[in-house]
Amino acid sequence: MIVGIGVDVVDVARFERAASRTPRLIPRLFAESERVVDGRELPLRSLAARFAAKEALIKAIGHSDGVFWHDMRVMSNERGTPRFETSGELTAHLRERGVSGLHVSLTHDAGVAIAYVIAESEGR
């Protein structure tokens, strides 16, 4: 059963400008394990998509109370498929809502990054 759906769009150029103006922004938004894959830094357009995923997750669960950026990490499996790893208050909130799975889809093209998130439970 679907508990919530979220979508977010990020203007990649705007995200890149914010990152260059504020050097601490990227480490504040992303754990190192999200930024570095196979020993190399992900490009900012990929981080923009991961930021959109975090925003979409907040929309899918209905709020951001007690949720911190590092409590939701957008990771990739061995085939590059994105997935969430959660911790802290976010994990507790997901359990309370009965969320048993999070599905995420990312894309970036033509200067925009988009993410869709579906929060699912094993109920009815």
For Cα atoms 30, 60, 90, give the angle at the middle one, nearest 5 degrees: 50
Contacts of 107 by beta carbon, 8 Å cutoff, 6+ apart? 49, 113, 114, 115
Report pTM.
0.94
2-121: what fold?
A: Ribosomal Protein L22; Chain A (3.90.470)
Residues in CB range of 97: below 8 A, 6 or more apart? 3, 61, 119, 121
Q: What CA–CA distances, in Å, run from 56 to 5, 10, 89, 105?
A: 8, 11, 17, 10
Query: Which pLDDT score is estimated for 114?
Result: 98
Task: Please give the chain's pLDDT, 124 residues, in tens.
Answer: 999 999 999 999 999 999 999 999 999 999 999 999 889 999 999 999 999 999 999 999 998 888 999 999 999 988 889 999 999 999 999 999 899 999 999 999 999 999 999 999 987 5
Residue 84: beta bridge partners? 74
> What is the token pair recorded at 29?
């938004």
CB count in 10 Å sphere of residue 13: 13
Domain boundaries, the chain: 2-121
